[in-house]
Amino acid sequence: MNRRDFLKIASLTPFAGMMPEILSANALHKPLNPQEKIVVLVELRGGNDALNTLIPYHDAEYYKLRPTLGIHENHLLKLKNGMGMHASLRPLQQYWDKGEMAWIQGLGYNNPNRSHFRSREIWETASQQKQHHQKGWVTQLFTGNDQINGVSMSEELGPLAGKHSRNLKIGSLDGFIRRSERMKSTTHQSTNSALNHILRTEQEVLRSAGDLREKLDKTRSLAGYFSKTPLGSELASVARLINSGINIPAYKVDLGDFDTHINQAGNHAALLNSLASNLDTFAKVMKRIGKWQNVIVVTYSEFGRKAQENSSKGTDHGLAGAHLVMGGSVKGHQIYGKTPSLTRLDNGSIQHTQDFRSVYSTLAQHWWKKPSPWKHPTINFV
Amino acid sequence: MNQLSFSDARHLTVRTGLGEEWHIIKKRQGRTRAEVINNLVRSKSDWTQPIPRLTSWKRWSYLVKKGGVSQLQATELLRKDKQALQEWWLGTMLNTYNPIVERMVMFWHNHFTSSLDKVNQPELILKQNQLFRHLALGNFKVLLREVARDPAMMIYLDCNVNGKGEGKDEPNENFARELLELYTLGEGNYTEEDVRSAAKAFTGWSVDRDKKKFIFKRQRHDYSAITFLGHTGRLSGDDIIKILLQRPETAINISKKFWKEFINDEAPDMPTIHAWAGRFRGSNYEISALMKAVLNSKAFWTTSNRGTKVKSPVELIVGTLRALPIQVPVPAESTAMKRLTDFCHSLGQKLFVPPNPAGWAGGDHWINTHTIGARKNMLVNFTHINSKNTLYSIPRLSVKGLSTWLLATTPISPLPKESASNREKVSSLLQDPSYQLT
């Protein structure tokens, strides 16, 4: 379903048809819960080309570096200060205009790694160059409590990783609940550590399904409002969990493959369009259920791509990225951070102007009101 | 002499093969350890299912530009080829008479990783898989040299963009780093300078994606002198490999991986590792010699190391289907093989698509809040009513006997009743958490 269809349904059934079903009792009758602070992390797998996402169209150097991939200023959405966004992001323009969406540019880290896997690990665990953390950055913030702290609807837990940390990897919500019925409750403990891990995971599934079942029973699936794409169904599940009234601080979904070494233009446009239209639907649903003030959507990706396009009309692994944040509480209509230089490149790549951990510090301190283990300055986006 | 008990034969069979195959366990029971091991390490087989007809892929852009194929058709052809290849290997694992060979193919696939999703030329991945099969228990030196020239690996680790550092043509450190870190020495046994030197030595090693073969681009090779692990001079890529094979750390690193594959997921016992590595180097890197050392070690046989590893998705899927006569229920629009590859994917082991160059982490990582339910759900599917008649033919055993055959440790749940049907008994045992272990 695209945005237009959604609006059509919404307008045909103003408050009578869709609303009561979609709204949980919680949202209808109770005032907004200021304690509910939700972050939805959207991983752009493969390294999103920041330069063709948030475009410095005033900079002549951009068009020199991108003779075929450069996007003419008449074909992009102008934001401010000579920066524009890719036309495929049009569904998000309204949030920018209303001040509910911002960009953070020049995000990266020192001694960068151009390997997908290592750089992804660095972004997801906030580790230093030679450190390896077992726990994702979100898990590091939420330790020692007894709630479900995060749910990943995508292949990997990523920022939510960490053994027995009450962060769940879920394929489908109904499947998760249904399959939990196959697990047997046990207090059995074994000296066999592999067996113990299996038993503990089973108990975690049983317990979490217990926490979720009753709430989910009261809220129906919202999949009908979302596109039939993997990202659409992942966001539909997130929306349903949020609508159920269960207070889970972090969610993870993903979209890919942004590793556009070859013939980038069409593929990249399609990916950004999928991102934008799915996030638009998600935002509309959040507004309808009265949770938009409680949610911040943040994208991330392991790196940006080289400034210079390659000979296959694509771009190779680069460094700094630009990411969007949106939500009812976001201080939007802003581009945070210094625009990276297109003349001082590192091996053809845009160098970062701020550390990506600043985003995590900001979410920790200003949103979740938790001390940040990362000593990087916060950004004013919330 | 050391005669194998049922439990010994079972342990050897599941850890070196694919599944709790009754007739193999029974054939080995009562024989001497030496005889069975000697036979096992001599296994050699190039047998596979008939190779699927694959599109003759050149570079993607070539096919789209000159092959008269639209982008959309090309995507669809590629998807079909990938699926066919996955079904072919899974079918080979299901039907081979030499499960130890396929197990080693998987081991090398997870050591010298390449991903079909990056390579995007299914024929090259097929060729690599055949190489792993041919040298499954062969010579590691030969294998390493072949892999260094293997087109699929070279594309996966970006050797096809590998110049001597003039302009935008940079020496590629991706392969050099993985060669040292993953393939041979292991982390901490080299410096960044060694990585840069190795990268220089391999400049000009490239691949012709259209002819699908290794090429050496003389004009792109950096002939300047380098220093690598204490050796200085004009070193070639083959010199680098030779030096790596002279270092004791290489055999130690491979031995540690064998420990993880065949013993347990804990930190290995270092004296044992050194003993294995010594045998491995002493045999001029015969993989069968290392395997023999592993299978004759105390660590392999000790009962405290039995039933201590989580089965990989492939072990769970292929193993169950090799051990038990099962009719997998197939939805109307699918096929049995498609369904099995879907199971692999949903349990986290999409064949030919390891998550990163280090491969699947394995062990406890196989189990998370999603996969545990997906595993149990799949096993319910396997013991679906469809299998009522086929399961009739399993060995006539008491419930206790079935349990010691199918489970690697004592069951957690109560045993099914003797009066239950075979299907009910098997179904109940397969749902036990212990069935997830090998």
Task: Supply the pLDDT for residue A278.
Answer: 98
pLDDT at B151 over 80: yes
Residues B420, B389, single domain; the answer is yes
Question: What confidence tens digit (pLDDT) does each residue in B271-283 have?
Answer: 999 999 999 999 9
Q: Does B160 touch chain A (CB under 8 A)?
A: no
Q: How many domains does chain A have?
A: 1
Confidence of residue B229 (pLDDT cuts 50, 70, 90): very high
CATH code for position A102: 3.40.720
Residue A359 falls inside a structural domain: yes
Query: In this complex, do A202 and B310 lie within 8 Å of one another by their Cβ atoms?
Result: no
Question: What average pLDDT does this structure show over A222-227?
Answer: 94
Residue A379 falls inside a structural domain: no
Query: In this complex, do B369 and A201 lie within 8 Å of one another by their Cβ atoms?
Result: yes
Tell which of A192, A203, A234, A252 to mutate to test the B interface (max B CBs under 10 Å): A192
User: Would you call A190 exposed, middle or buried from its count of C-beta atoms within 10 A (0-12, 13-18, 19+)?
Assistant: middle
pLDDT at A91 over 90: yes
Q: Is residue B19 a contact partner of residue B47, using CB atoms and an 8 Å limit?
A: no
Tell which of A202, A207, A267 to mutate to test the B interface (max B CBs under 10 Å): A202
Residues B182, B64, single domain; the answer is yes
Question: What average pLDDT does this structure show over B211-221?
Answer: 92
Residue B191 falls inside a structural domain: yes
Question: What average pLDDT does this structure show over A311-336?
Answer: 93
Place of tokens 């390294």: A47
pLDDT at A119 over 50: yes
Residues B217, B83, single domain; the answer is yes
pLDDT at B208 over 80: yes
Domain's final residue, options B246, B274, B295: B246
Angle at A287 between CA A284 and CA A288, to 5 degrees: 90
Confidence of residue A12 (pLDDT cuts 50, 70, 90): very low
Confidence of residue A29 (pLDDT cuts 50, 70, 90): very low
Selection from B168, B167, B186 nearest residue B177 by Cα: B186
Residue A242 falls inside a structural domain: yes
pLDDT at B252 over 50: yes
Residue B331 falls inside a structural domain: yes
Residue B308 falls inside a structural domain: no
Query: Could you tell me the maximum CA-CA distance found in chain A, to the nearest angstrom?
Result: 67
User: Would you call B341 exposed, middle or buried from its count of C-beta atoms within 10 A (0-12, 13-18, 19+)?
Assistant: buried
ipTM of the complex: 0.94
Query: In this complex, do B363 and A194 lie within 8 Å of one another by their Cβ atoms?
Result: yes
Domain's final residue, options B199, B219, B246: B246
Residues B121, B235, single domain; the answer is yes
Measured distance CA(A80)–CA(B216) in Å, rounded: 50
Residues B69, B149, single domain; the answer is yes
Structural domain of residue A95, as residue ranges? 3-172+221-367
- The residue type of A234 is E
Which one of A140-144, A158-162, B404-408 scores highest in mean pLDDT? B404-408
For A352, phi then psi, to 5°, come to -75, 155
SS3 per-residue string spanning chain A: CCHHHHHHHHHHCCCCCHHHHHCCHHHHHCCCCCCCCEEEEEEECCCCCHHHCEECCCCHHHHHHCCCCCCCHHHEEEEECCEEEEHHHHHHHHHHHCCCEEEEEEEECCCCCCCHHHHHHHHHHCCCCCCCCCCCHHHHHCCCCCCCCEEECCCCCHHHCCCCCCEEECCCHHHHHHHHCCCCCCCCCCCCHHHHHHHHHHHHHHHHHHHHHHHHHHCCCCHHHCCCCHHHHHHHHHHHHHHCCCCCCEEEEEECCCCCCCCHHHHHHHHHHHHHHHHHHHHHHHHHCCCHHHEEEEEECCCCECCCCCCCCCCCECCCEEEEEECCCCCCCEEECCCCCCCCEECCEECCCEECHHHHHHHHHHHCCCCCCCCCCCCCCC
CA distance B3 to chain A (A): 27
Question: What average pLDDT does this structure show over B227-252?
Answer: 97
Question: What average pLDDT does this structure show over B67-79?
Answer: 82
Least confident of A56-60, A114-118, A206-210, B257-261: A114-118
Question: What average pLDDT does this structure show over B240-248?
Answer: 98
pLDDT, mean over chain B: 93
Question: What confidence tens digit (pLDDT) does each residue in A285-314 have?
Answer: 999 999 999 999 999 999 999 999 987 788
User: Which chain B residues touch A266 with a CB distance below 8 Å?
Assistant: 71
Q: Does B174 touch chain A (CB under 8 A)?
A: yes
Residues B32, B88, single domain; the answer is no
Confidence of residue A188 (pLDDT cuts 50, 70, 90): confident
Residues B107, B170, single domain; the answer is yes
- Is A155 or B437 the better-scoring residue by pLDDT? B437
Residues B325, B413, single domain; the answer is yes
Confidence of residue A11 (pLDDT cuts 50, 70, 90): very low
Query: In this complex, do A186 and B412 lie within 8 Å of one another by their Cβ atoms?
Result: yes
3-state secondary structure of B411: coil
Question: What confidence tens digit (pLDDT) does each residue in B300-310 have?
Answer: 999 999 999 99
3-state secondary structure of B252: helix
Residue A209 falls inside a structural domain: no
Confidence of residue B68 (pLDDT cuts 50, 70, 90): confident
Residue A253 falls inside a structural domain: yes
Query: In this complex, do A193 and B307 lie within 8 Å of one another by their Cβ atoms?
Result: no
Q: Does A369 touch chain B (CB under 8 A)?
A: no
Structural domain of residue B195, as residue ranges? 60-246
Residues B27, B97, single domain; the answer is no
Measured distance CA(B108)–CA(B89) in Å, rounded: 14
Q: Does A188 touch chain B (CB under 8 A)?
A: yes
Residues B8, B73, single domain; the answer is no
Residues B68, B206, single domain; the answer is yes
Q: Does A131 touch chain B (CB under 8 A)?
A: no
Q: Work out the percent of chain B whose per-residue pLDDT is above 70.
A: 96
Q: Does A213 touch chain B (CB under 8 A)?
A: no
Domain's final residue, options B229, B246, B263: B246
Residue B204 falls inside a structural domain: yes
Angle at A136 between CA A130 and CA A141, to 5 degrees: 115
Residues B196, B70, single domain; the answer is yes
Q: Does B213 touch chain A (CB under 8 A)?
A: no
Q: Work out the percent of chain A whose per-residue pLDDT is above 70.
A: 91
- Is A191 or B229 the better-scoring residue by pLDDT? B229
Place of tokens 């869709």: A18
User: Would you call B218 exposed, middle or buried from its count of C-beta atoms within 10 A (0-12, 13-18, 19+)?
Assistant: exposed
Task: Supply the pLDDT for residue B295.
Answer: 98
pLDDT at A201 over 50: yes
Task: Supply the pLDDT for residue A113.
Answer: 84
Residue in B60, B368, B437 closest to A201 by CB: B368
